């Protein structure tokens, strides 16, 4: 059953479209609107909608480049040029937490992308939350009154970011346990979806977010400046990230992170994660699998 919040978020994302394209989304039934993950606009091609099972084209005339710019004008309140100057990461976040990914011709200076021109495609990712997603595992991540450092593991698209976000919220709001101060290194803006300094997605009342900053640097800044009890980050991938986590663990801070993989064995062969596992930085491992249309969680005690 589709939640009304999901359909409302889809409507909010679709409102960024110019009238012709927005009208096309009105042909989707309520169930489809609630399940839609992205709206894809490619110059010269029909608009498509991305669902968990794949991408579906909508009938209608091909998208024009002018319509791509119209989306940016709406999303940025007529500051499309300024938005394009902020797309070094390939996307930006708008009110409601929706993300707009941008492709076009890159303007490069000193080896760095400083702008985009001649837009070719946009991807509007519909912001989703799953309140209560952490309920099946939350209690098993505590021991003797303390939250245990935890690594969440799933293949891409398996739901680890969704689970991570809801765990951050539950720890910060004290669901079933004392509330904890949580510092979030949100490098790609996927966890809190900050907009003008305000999280657009629920991450709890005792959470401090540093977004748009490389994870390694962000983790250290949070550790030094915000006195966190838990540090959270999505997709640890760089040696700098691992070094920052080690420093935090040595300061008595609990960790909450994610990685790509299906089972523990998948990451034990990777030097970066072997370093973290050998150092016993994580005490719990949560694996996520799809069981039909539902997610199934397994909690493993690492030490």
Name residue, tokens 């490069």. 108
Domain count, the chain: 2
Inter-residue contact 170 to 144 (CB < 8 Å)? no
Q: Which two tokens stand for residue 135?
A: 């309920």
Same domain, yes or no, for 145 and 51? no
pLDDT digits (tens, 9 = 90+) for 33-81: 999 999 999 999 999 999 888 899 998 899 999 999 899 888 877 665 5
Contacts of residue 92, defined as CB under 8 A and 6 or more positions apart, other chains included, come to 83, 86, 99, 100, 102
Residue 16 has pLDDT above 90, yes or no: yes
Inter-residue contact 89 to 188 (CB < 8 Å)? yes
From 99, 125, 151, the end of a domain falls on: 125
Inter-residue contact 10 to 33 (CB < 8 Å)? yes
Whether residue 130 lies inside any domain: the answer is no
Dmax over CA atoms of the chain, in Å, equals: 61
Residue 2 has pLDDT above 80, yes or no: no
Same domain, yes or no, for 237 and 89? no
Closest CA to 153 of 278, 293, 297, 283: 297
Same domain, yes or no, for 286 and 227? yes
Terminal-residue alpha carbon distance, the chain: 39
Whether residue 132 lies inside any domain: the answer is no
- b/e burial code for range 172-184 (CB count within 10 A of at least 16 → b): bbebebeebbbbb
Same domain, yes or no, for 158 and 282? yes
For 79, 107, 142, 206, the CA distances from 177, given in Å and listed in that order, are: 44, 50, 9, 14
Same domain, yes or no, for 97 and 151? no
pLDDT digits (tens, 9 = 90+) for 191-200: 998 888 999 8
Quick check: helix, strand or coil at residue 89? helix
Question: How confident is residue 147, by pLDDT bands cut at 50, 70 and 90?
Answer: very high
Whether residue 102 lies inside any domain: the answer is yes
Same domain, yes or no, for 143 and 290? yes
Question: How confident is residue 1, by pLDDT bands cut at 50, 70 and 90?
Answer: very low
pLDDT digits (tens, 9 = 90+) for 156-172: 778 898 899 999 999 99
Whether residue 232 lies inside any domain: the answer is yes
Same domain, yes or no, for 68 and 188? no
Same domain, yes or no, for 87 and 221? no
User: Distance from CA of residue 162 to its chain's centroid?
Assistant: 7
Q: Give the residue numbers spanning the domain of 207.
A: 138-301
Question: How confident is residue 89, by pLDDT bands cut at 50, 70 and 90?
Answer: low
Same domain, yes or no, for 157 and 96? no
The CATH number covering residue 258 comes to: 3.40.50.300
């Amino acid at each position: 059953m589709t939640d009304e919040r999901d359909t409302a978020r889809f409507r909010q994302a679709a409102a960024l479209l110019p009238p012709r394209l927005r009208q096309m989304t009105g042909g989707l039934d309520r169930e489809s609107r609630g399940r839609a993950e992205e709206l894809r606009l490619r110059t010269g091609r029909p608009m498509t909608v991305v669902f968990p099972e794949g991408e579906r084209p909508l009938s209608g005339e091909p998208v024009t480049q002018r319509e791509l710019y119209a989306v940016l004008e709406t999303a940025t309140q007529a500051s499309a040029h300024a938005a394009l100057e902020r797309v070094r990461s390939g996307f930006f976040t708008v009110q409601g937490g929706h993300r707009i990914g941008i492709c076009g011709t890159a303007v490069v200076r000193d080896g760095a992308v400083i702008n985009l021109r001649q837009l070719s495609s946009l991807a509007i990712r519909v912001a989703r939350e799953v309140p209560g997603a952490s309920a099946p595992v939350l209690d098993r991540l505590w021991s003797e009154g303390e939250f245990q450092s935890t690594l969440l593991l799933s293949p891409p698209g398996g739901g680890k970011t969704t689970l991570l976000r809801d765990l951050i919220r539950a720890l910060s709001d004290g669901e079933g346990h004392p509330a904890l101060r949580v510092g979030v290194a949100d490098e790609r803006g996927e966890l809190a979806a900050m907009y003008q300094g305000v999280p657009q997605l629920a991450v709890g009342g005792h959470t401090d977010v540093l977004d748009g900053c490389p994870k390694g640097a962000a983790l250290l800044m949070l550790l030094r400046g915000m006195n966190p009890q838990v540090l959270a980050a999505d997709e640890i991938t760089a040696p700098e990230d691992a070094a920052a986590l080690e420093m935090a663990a040595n300061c008595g801070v609990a960790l909450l992170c994610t990685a790509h993989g299906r089972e523990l064995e998948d990451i034990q062969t990777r030097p970066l994660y072997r370093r973290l596992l050998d150092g016993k930085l994580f005490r719990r491992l949560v694996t996520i699998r799809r069981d039909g249309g539902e997610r199934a969680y397994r909690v493993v005690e690492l030490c």
